[in-house]
Structure 1
Amino acid sequence: MKLERAFDILFHQLETLPRADCLSAKTGKQWQSLSSREVMEAVNAVSLGLLQQGMVRGDKVAIAADNCPAWTIVDLALQQIGAISVPLYPTCTLDDARYILAHAEVKLAFVGSAALHKKLAQALDGRSCPLYALNPLAGLPAWTALRDAGRHGDLRQLAALRSSIRADDVFTIIYTSGTTGRAKGVMLSHRNVLSTVIATAEHTRLPAGQCRALSFLPLSHIFERAGVLYYLFTGTGVYFASVDSLSTSLREVRPHTFSAVPRVLEKVHDKLVGKARDLSGWRRRLYLWAIARAEAYQPDQPPRGLAALQHALADRLVYRQWRAAMGGELRWVNVGSAALQPRLARLLWASGIAVAEGYGMSETAPVISANPFSAKDVRIGSVGIPLKGVELKLADDGEILVRGPNVMVGYYKEPALTAETVQDGWLHTGDIGVLEQGYLRITDRKKEMFKTSNGKYIAPQLLENKLKESAYIDQIMVVGDGQKFAAALIVPLYERLQEWCQEHGITYTTNSEMRLHPRIVELIEREVKRFNRHFGSWEHIKKFSLLDKPWCVDAGELAPTLKLRRKVISERCRALIDTMYRHA
């Protein structure tokens, strides 16, 4: 069949690659699956139930919930009747929810928890808006009430409405979290997302109809939402989980693939590396040797001779255990949203898991470029090559410009901002990059670059990504706008520091006490100086302060996409920053 709208993907799967486990989730201790046909029947019934509730083409409907089959069913049901979905992050603040619901003029909403029900009820400020629960909630009708009401609806009416939906119709408005200011409503069409899904499938060449995928990144972000459509298109069974249950879900589902942000993989990596603390003697030395080998592995330069024998030994004794901890069948991981530490990418490639780091934006639905899953073609440290149909060029100042079928319709109710962002068909990303033999490398955000008092420009993200290659640095934010030199706020990787302290006989009671220990400060200083050598003298980090706890989304220091909210962090750490420059 010809695919023109995002919801056509479900019909495509049913006709060509039907699955018994189209969508699955855990209920209690058991995984429950819906077949392709059951999903289709539920989608059609919900569409008809929504029509009975008075929903019409163009109405905005909010979805605020954690990942579950009902999320995707409702999303597809809205698409079929021309309603426009407006996802909200489960972690969104009351103020953000109030703004989005009002700005989008939401007519109906779905919530996934009692906390989200309370938040949306408050955010609506008394405005009339029916609420439905995606999970059983006291006092709220369930989404299944719409499904049950629509089961006896007129499928011919639905078919006529479905056929009237066009590829360029808007089907979702994604409110970008942003790192400053109000969220912008990115309008995406069926063509935008469908072009990404098809191009990604061609780029990754995931074996059709043969895989299971774990979905745990929030569906409110277009990265995971397009990812689920990609799984449906390739006939891959989708198993919904949460980051908190990731270890258990990996063991039970034994997925072949999933999408992740670097922070998730860093936590997986920390658990694998942390196992060294439980070992002693030659076993510990062997484990640390295997880690060191993995973190230096180059997938495009496979080991030969003695090195190949050593790698095979490390695989048999250590890497095989890592694969088992991740389910035993994991082979492909898509990574986006932020820069992936090269040492972590190398470690996963060494253990037999292909990691494809990519680049995208909500405004590009979302993928612009990605690394192939081919060891000989991957370029660690880059974000790969443009997807088929996507054009990319660099402006005179290095800004990345993008043109293609994936570029958004525009910002909702923001024609001036849309015209500023998309000029002559080219989307101005705001990111600075370089092209190296066709592979794109991101160096910074245009608006995040700053100038020192000496008149030198500094790209903080470039420095941050490099220093995060250190085994002892978890998070870092470079500062120095208008100052004589660059400095940094650093959150150490405390799991690694605990091992280091144990090896060097250092005692402490808390992370706060540990970070102040002179030998810990000395260790981080050595790491900073080691990486400073990669940059010009004016870019060197001259001073730093160590923080005792990581920045997080709940505290507002990270956007839901896990990007640094620099203004928030700067304000909260003003005293530390001022101290670093007081006697400069």
Structure 2
Amino acid sequence: MQATSTIQTPTGEAFESALQARTLCEAFQITAAARAEQVAVRTADDSVLLTYGALAERVRRVAAGLAALGLQRGDTLGIMLTNRPEFHVVDLAAMHLGAIPFSIYNTSAQNQIEYLFADAGNRMVITERAFLERLTAVRDGGTPIDRIIVVDGAPGGTLSLEQVEEGGDPEFDFEATWSAVDPEDLLTLIYTSGTTGPPKGVELSHRNMMTKIRALQQVFPVTPGGRTISFLPAAHIGDRWSGHYSPLAVWGFTVTTCPDARKVMEIAQQLRPTVFLPVPRMWEKAKAALEAEIESEPDDARRKLMRWAIDTGIKKARAEQDGRSAGPILELQAKVADALVGSKIRRKLGLDQSEWFLTGSAPTPRHVFEFFAAIGIQICELWGAMSETSCVMTVNPKDRNRVGTVGLPIPGLEVKVAEDGELLVRSETVMRGYRNKPEQTAEAIDPEGWLHTGDIGTIDEEGYVRLVDRKKDIIINAAGKNMSPANIETWLRSSSPVIGQAVCIGDGRPYNVALIALDPEGAAGKSVDDPATIAEVAAGVERANSHLSRVEQIKKFKVVADEWRPGSDELTPTMKIKRKSVVAKYAAQIEELYGS
């Protein structure tokens, strides 16, 4: 298909054309031509700002430059960048060549990078100065890297991105190249976080992702031309889907890049996103901050008004969740509460123009959903962040949101429960397989095409899916009782602002204990050796225990001195617990908790 045959269409028609495109390349060309004057990618301070027209031109020049350096269809390209506009430029450029760009977590150690490069087989990598020393060490250590391209300068032995752009062949046929990309061509590799072994390269095709985008538009309809924030690592499927492929190729959004995930809520205040997708921990911390602000309100009458408004909204939300009518009086009270308090809080947060609020990848307590529903922010939980299925598998429809579930399967995706309780899915969005790992691919996808997700869950009569925990994480205590550590840990994290992360231990043990890391912000200035700090944590553990059955409750805990950061020994870059690593690292402390 020639570019000129589809791109000269009005914006509304362009969206429908992009949605039905065969590849992400075709979709992007349609969208970029229709929105040439609209901002496509920007930094929060507007120090870098690219319109769709400028982005498309840079993509063309970088693609020509990469082709001149030898990058061809089917070749892999490593990318190690923070969330910055240049990522979108180089990833799109490689994609238009039919190459396979993949990202490396910025916290990766030298040996981890060496493993990924050996598996991917890339001979070229694009990075920034902050990571150059590590990549140079990888190259000097024997990994065959022919080119290191640096987006913010060109130290010795590297090329700058500007040099790549200027080095393309003027006769390079860009349109013919991207038009030749096939739906079955690989779009990217997403490497798993490696919590249960060496990372596996998930091979996703253009067909996988376009199928996912089309399915989600049916149940998660977005208005083209909106705004969103890219803050998750580009190596994670969540950001590839929500911060890159969907918004730029199909939705025609303005994407604001956020290299520091801790500043997402701050950026939201000035951006006013139309689609907002924070991870659960961000919602939990936002709730804690709002509650603290309400309690510190010096005006007693105003404080009481805010409390009343929240309580009224929660009552209404609970009635709706239970399938009961809120009744005319409560409905009226809720409208007044929203006008006086809820709408003002939404504006203050910068979330008054959002069409969708989503979250997933980890359990979220019911009280978090109820609190935000009370101020008019209805968070729809989804089952996603699984690279093997191109991200989202189920999502709660906004008009039929069922708190406590992860929603209904997206169109075209089948879900069933295996005999052992594991959830299996089948869809055109399921990966081609794991790169260079046919045996592990066969273990993951059975002969009938069902992907074994590793999640334990249930499906109710209406088709809503509920997650219990990861199959490998289920705790079976000494008495044979099965428990979900994720559920216990969720209550612990949300029970006190000083608790940042928690790991529940209890497999094969007589009772449950917990390792707790303090929250850098909530516990700022507090010491793990301070009795007052320990007392605050103990109060939080007690509150969490009040929501748990007797056998699930935490009997003892230990506050660790280390801060658990994304990409550390304890957490993956997307803040998932590295359970095996934690148990090994803190073995002595765990045994102390089970002492006399």
Same-fold status (TM-score > 0.5): yes
> Which residue identity is paired with 1:380?
V
Cα distance change, pair 31–380 in 1 and its aligned pair in 2 (3 A): farther
1:41 aligns with 2:41: no
Cα distance change, pair 346–135 in 1 and its aligned pair in 2 (3 A): farther
Once the 2 structures are TM-superposed, how far is the Cα of residue 495 of structure 1 from its aligned partner? 7.2
1: CA distance, partners of 2:500 / 2:106: 25
Partner of residue 482, structure 1: 508
Once the 2 structures are TM-superposed, how far is the Cα of residue 3 of structure 1 from its aligned partner? 1.2
Partner of residue 14, structure 2: none
Cα shift readout 1:87-126 (whole Å, capped 9, x = no counterpart) = 11122222211211222121111113x2211111112224
1: CA distance, partners of 2:81 / 2:520: 32
Task: Give the secondary-structure state (helix, strand or coil) at the position aligned to 1:154.
Answer: coil
> Which residue identity is paired with 1:241?
C
> Which residue identity is paired with 2:387?
S
2: CA distance, partners of 1:214 / 1:48: 29
1: CA distance, partners of 2:484 / 2:211: 32
Once the 2 structures are TM-superposed, how far is the Cα of residue 543 of structure 1 from its aligned partner? 3.3
Counterpart of 1:555 (choices 550, 554, 568) is: 568
Extract unaligned runs of 5+ from structure 2.
1-16
> Which residue identity is paired with 1:311?
A
> Which residue identity is paired with 2:287?
H
Matches within 5 A, 1:124-523: 124=139, 125-126=141-142, 127-136=144-153, 138-139=155-156, 140-150=158-168, 152-155=170-173, 158-209=174-225, 211-227=226-242, 228-232=244-248, 233-242=250-259, 243-276=261-294, 278-280=296-298, 282=300, 283-293=302-312, 297-298=317-318, 300=321, 303-327=326-350, 328-360=352-384, 361-374=386-399, 377-423=400-446, 424-436=448-460, 437-468=462-493, 470=495, 474-491=500-517, 510=527, 512-514=529-531, 520=536, 523=539
1: CA distance, partners of 2:489 / 2:92: 39
Once the 2 structures are TM-superposed, how far is the Cα of residue 16 of structure 1 from its aligned partner? 5.0
1:120 aligns with 2:151: no
2: CA distance, partners of 1:280 / 1:495: 23
Task: Give the secondary-structure state (helix, strand or coil) at the position aligned to 1:191.
Answer: helix
Aligned residues with identical type, % of pairs: 31
Once the 2 structures are TM-superposed, how far is the Cα of residue 550 of structure 1 from its aligned partner? 5.3
Alignment: residue pair count: 562
Task: Give the secondary-structure state (helix, strand or coil) at the position aligned to 1:433.
Answer: strand
2: CA distance, partners of 1:151 / 1:290: 64
Cα distance change, pair 171–21 in 1 and its aligned pair in 2 (3 A): same
Once the 2 structures are TM-superposed, how far is the Cα of residue 474 of structure 1 from its aligned partner? 4.5
Extract unaligned runs of 5+ from structure 1.
499-507
Partner of residue 501, structure 1: none
> Which residue identity is paired with 1:449?
I
Cα shift readout 1:426-472 (whole Å, capped 9, x = no counterpart) = 11011101112311111011111233222333332233345555356
Counterpart of 2:88 (choices 66, 69, 72) is: 72
Cα distance change, pair 544–510 in 1 and its aligned pair in 2 (3 A): closer
1: CA distance, partners of 2:238 / 2:110: 24
2: CA distance, partners of 1:515 / 1:411: 49
Cα shift readout 1:150-170 (whole Å, capped 9, x = no counterpart) = 372322xx3333233221111
Cα distance change, pair 262–522 in 1 and its aligned pair in 2 (3 A): closer
Task: Give the secondary-structure state (helix, strand or coil) at the position aligned to 2:167.
Answer: helix
Cα distance change, pair 144–276 in 1 and its aligned pair in 2 (3 A): same
Q: Is the 8 A contact 1:357 1:370 kept in 2?
A: yes
Cα distance change, pair 516–509 in 1 and its aligned pair in 2 (3 A): closer
Cα distance change, pair 352–32 in 1 and its aligned pair in 2 (3 A): farther
Matches within 5 A, 1:85-104: 85-104=101-120
> Which residue identity is paired with 1:235?
G
Partner of residue 503, structure 1: none
2: CA distance, partners of 1:269 / 1:78: 40
Q: TM-score with structure 2 length normalisation?
A: 0.87
Once the 2 structures are TM-superposed, how far is the Cα of residue 315 of structure 1 from its aligned partner? 2.9
> Which residue identity is paired with 1:432?
I
Partner of residue 502, structure 1: none
Partner of residue 542, structure 2: 526
2: CA distance, partners of 1:465 / 1:56: 46
